[in-house]
Chains A and B, each alone.
Chain A
């Protein structure tokens, strides 16, 4: 079945550091891939998405590229801010999975001033 694996946290960085959160997936079809972010005390919200191979999703300085050859969708940001502290979820949606969204376990990011 479909699954998403992302790096365990927490990840602790200083402000302006480079961020990478790894995400790999298993899917039987051609999924769409997502990164959602959850700020403290809130629900999840979409950060970015990519719907086909080699697409790059980007938003708020975050980027992720859909790599079919390595089944990966790693999240990157060149210079993190304290306000980026949150939990980040990688997810996929696949027609063969009935369009249901499968989430990774989440990675908590702490950014220190």
Chain B
């Protein structure tokens, strides 16, 4: 199993540009999430999905869109990039059957720089 994969690994954008961060998992997990990691702030939840066709907002959703058309894929779209979106983005998935004891599996991250 490849686990959770993310592309690209690194991206530089200019302010106002749009792009899509890709995330895929091959573990047949129902739950998928997007986080951003900023120094001193831990991980903050952007959007999450509890199954194909179902998405919801997390703690910091503004400026981002998601969709979940398949169990495997959960892309994150930046609509109009801003310097405040410079961060490291992590996708994670979990089985969805254990409830509060759920372990999350993380991708390797995408480092985004917005100029």
Contacts and interface: CB of A to CB of B under 8 A. Distances in A.
Contacts of A42: 108-109
A56 to B, nearest CB: 15
Interface string A34-51: 101000011111100101
Interface string B33-49: 10100001111110010
Contacts of A100: 33, 45, 48, 58
B12 interface: no
B74 interface: no
Contacts of B4: 43
Contact of A93 (B43, B48, B101, B105): B101
Sorting the interface of chain A by its residue count into under 10, 10 to 19, 20 to 34 or 35 or more gives: 20 to 34
Given A32-B101, A43-B4, A106 B42 contact: yes
A62 interface: no
B102 interface: yes
Contacts of A76: none
Contacts of A31: 100
B90 A44 contact: yes
Interface string B70-111: 000000000000000000001010000001111111111100
Interface of B: 4, 31, 33, 35, 40-45, 48, 58, 90, 92, 99-109
The 4 closest A-B pairs by CB, nearest first: A43-B106, A103-B42, A51-B101, A103-B43
9 contacts: A36-B106, A43-B90, A49-B101, A93-B100, A95-B99, A99-B31, A99-B99, A101-B45, A106-B42
